[in-house]
């Protein structure tokens, strides 16, 4: 199989924290399908998003470039059609490219290199969620609030379930259609689920996967708002942390439902894998499991993302290709911008992969997948330029040290080997002066003042444009799936036996008539 162009299947879950998966040490959460992939795959223990927010993280991942380079500032920043994505590159390399589920594209281009989309998106494609740094104290009606925690629990149906059920169904059907093609063209299929993103709601079935009394509480309890670091304090205030009294039972309910949603996603992954096997595509398909960011899940009294703490910024990253790579765990730091050059290298196989047409910030993970860690830079970068700040926040992680810098805030430095809960800020301590100085110099790669100017200008343009487009006749940019059913079932342009036969997996030619029987 190694000499064939591999099929590539990227499976994403929204807001799925690495620390909440059994693969990364959680003792309670049940995700046996993902565990099985990890057991025979390559597990990256220190994978990070490049922005702890949905749209910027996804745009950056697809482009292989840090958010500030492509204007991916927040959840309403337009993803420019001129930015080459991994879907463009793979399509140019001969791949069929297809997207199902959430990708949170903003703007009129809702494909970005994908030839087709199987579903609409769950979130709006317009500029309505644009933050405003000109009004830093403003609270947004569309922003996370604590109702997600207060109302956490069991519901029979939700928008998330409707959406993810469709993603799984359409994804499975697409895999069967790919198995029927039999033309040898490799595919790149992205299936992106919206769970376990808040609100923290699951069905009774998945709630019952867990003993409620056994649900673990955060390892670090609530820190009073006035004792939080300034960025965390702004995020808490923006989410209305004091609007409701958050009880221990609220926290337990939210975590319980979150775990249920992970088990749900795991079951959907199982359906997709079963379809791959049935369609006879499994042996030559490389599977990547990841997420756009994590979730604080009540750690330090914080929820959702928008933070560079581990629960928010660290993501699962698993590559399953047992015919190509031996199972192993990799401790080196990687980030989502590494996905583009990695998939290009995998698609190229024994040939040299083409050079990207613009500089990318990621590196191919192929050496790490093959067990060679000798030249890996072990350095990742993160940016945050959305609501909850009025200046760009930067994160650098090298080895065990994480450095967070924003010109409006006190810098933070953590040694995650000694302090995995990030409770001891080493910035300013003489014992770590050399490490801090080195990482601070690395932050010099950014021009914070120039980025701030670009962010504010972009916000002002988008806020005006959105208000204008909401007047008169509104023309949504949201993707509208179009389905051609003219060849889906039995039609009279072909014999009924032929229509049935072409849809069978495995395909078998019709038996030769026995003329002696006449």
Condensed to tens digits (0 to 9), the pLDDT of residues 71-128 reads 999 999 999 999 999 999 999 999 999 999 999 999 999 999 999 999 999 999 999 9
- The confidence score (pLDDT) of residue 1 equals 43
Q: How far apart are CA 426 and CA 439, in angstroms?
A: 12
- The confidence score (pLDDT) of residue 180 equals 92
**Is 104 an active-site residue?**
yes
Catalytic residue among 88, 96, 104, 112: 104
- Alpha carbon distances (Å) from 267 to 164, 168, 195, 284: 11, 10, 12, 22
β partners of residue 42: 319, 328
Catalytic residue among 19, 54, 393, 406: 54
- 408-432 burial: b if 16+ Cβ within 10 Å, else e: ebebbbbbbeeeeebeeebbeeeeb
For the chain, what is the mean pLDDT?
94
Residue 182's pLDDT band (cuts 50, 70, 90):
confident
First CA to last CA across the chain, in angstroms? 45
Whats the size of the chain, residue-wise?
A: 518
pLDDT per position as a tens digit, 477-516: 999 998 888 877 778 877 777 777 778 878 788 788 876 6
pLDDT per position as a tens digit, 369-378: 999 999 999 9
- The confidence score (pLDDT) of residue 501 equals 75
Is the per-residue pLDDT at 2 higher than 80? no
The CATH H-level superfamily of 7-368 is Alkaline Phosphatase, subunit A (3.40.720.10)
Q: How many CB atoms lie within 10 A of CB 125?
A: 21
β partners of residue 427: none
Query: For 414-419, what is the mean pLDDT?
Result: 98
Query: For 392-402, what is the mean pLDDT?
Result: 98
**Mean pLDDT lowest among 181-190, 228-237, 350-359, 441-450:** 350-359
Half-sphere CA count of 13, side-chain side, radius 13 A: 31
- The confidence score (pLDDT) of residue 495 equals 77
**Mean pLDDT lowest among 121-135, 187-201, 299-313, 484-498:** 484-498
Share of the chain above pLDDT 90, in %: 86
Query: For 223-252, what is the mean pLDDT?
Result: 92
More confident position, 267 or 483: 267
pLDDT per position as a tens digit, 18-77: 999 999 999 999 999 999 999 999 999 999 999 999 999 999 999 999 999 999 999 999
Helices (H), 359-432: 366-369
Q: How far apart are CA 514 and CA 518, in angstroms?
A: 8
Is the per-residue pLDDT at 518 higher than 60? no
Tokens 């989502």 -> residue: 336
β partners of residue 395: 382, 404
Is the per-residue pLDDT at 134 higher than 80? yes
- β 328-335/42-48 pair status: parallel
- For the chain, what are the domain ranges? 7-368
């Amino acid at each position: 199989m190694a000499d064939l162009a591999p099929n590539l299947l990227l499976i994403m879950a929204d807001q799925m924290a690495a620390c909440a998966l059994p693969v990364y040490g959680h003792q309670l959460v049940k995700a046996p399908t993902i565990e099985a992939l990890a057991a025979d795959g390559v597990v990256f223990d220190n994978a990070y998003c490049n922005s702890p927010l949905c749209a910027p993280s996804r745009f950056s991942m697809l482009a292989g470039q840090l958010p500030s380079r492509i204007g991916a500032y927040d959840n309403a920043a337009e993803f420019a059609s001129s930015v080459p994505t991994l879907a463009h590159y793979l399509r140019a390399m001969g791949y069929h490219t297809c997207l199902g589920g959430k990708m949170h594209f903003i703007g009129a281009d809702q494909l970005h290199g994908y030839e087709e989309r199987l579903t609409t998106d769950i979130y709006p494609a317009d500029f309505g969620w644009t933050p405003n740094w000109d009004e830093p104290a403003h609270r947004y009606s569309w922003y996370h609030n604590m109702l997600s925690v207060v109302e956490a629990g069991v519901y029979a149906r939700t928008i998330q379930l409707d959406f993810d059920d469709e993603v799984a169904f359409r994804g499975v059907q697409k895999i069967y259609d790919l198995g029927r093609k039999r033309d040898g063209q490799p595919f790149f299929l992205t299936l992106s689920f919206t769970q376990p993103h808040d609100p923290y709601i699951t069905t009774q079935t998945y709630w019952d996967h867990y003993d409620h009394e056994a649900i673990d509480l955060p390892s670090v309890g609530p820190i009073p708002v006035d004792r939080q670091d300034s960025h965390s304090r702004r995020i808490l205030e923006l989410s209305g942390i004091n609007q409701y009294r958050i009880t221990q039972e609220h926290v337990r309910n939210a975590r319980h439902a979150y775990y249920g949603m992970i088990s749900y996603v795991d079951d959907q992954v199982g359906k997709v894998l079963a379809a791959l096997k049935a369609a006879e595509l499994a042996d030559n398909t490389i599977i990547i499991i990841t997420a756009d960011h994590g979730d604080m899940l009540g750690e330090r009294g914080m929820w959702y993302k928008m933070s560079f703490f581990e629960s928010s910024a660290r993501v699962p990253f698993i590559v399953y290709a047992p015919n190509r790579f031996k199972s192993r765990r990799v401790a080196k730091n990687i980030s989502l911008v590494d996905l583009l050059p990695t998939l290009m290298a995998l698609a190229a196989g024994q040939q040299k992969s083409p050079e990207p047409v613009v500089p990318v910030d990621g590196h191919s993970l192929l050496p790490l997948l093959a067990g060679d860690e000798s030249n890996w830079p072990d350095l990742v970068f993160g940016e945050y330029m959305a609501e909850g700040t009025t200046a760009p926040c930067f994160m650098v992680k090298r080895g065990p040290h994480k450095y967070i810098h924003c010109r409006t805030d006190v810098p933070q430095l953590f040694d995650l080997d000694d302090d995995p809960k990030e409770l001891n800020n080493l910035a300013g301590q003489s014992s770590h002066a050399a490490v801090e100085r080195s990482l601070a110099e690395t932050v010099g790669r950014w021009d914070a003042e120039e980025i701030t100017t670009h962010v504010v200008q972009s916000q002002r343009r988008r806020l005006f444009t959105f208000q204008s487009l909401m007047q008169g006749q509104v023309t949504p940019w949201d993707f509208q799936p179009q389905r051609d059913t003219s060849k889906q079932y039995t039609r009279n342009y072909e014999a009924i036996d032929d229509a049935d036969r072409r849809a069978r997996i495995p395909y078998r030619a019709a038996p030769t008539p026995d003329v002696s029987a006449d």
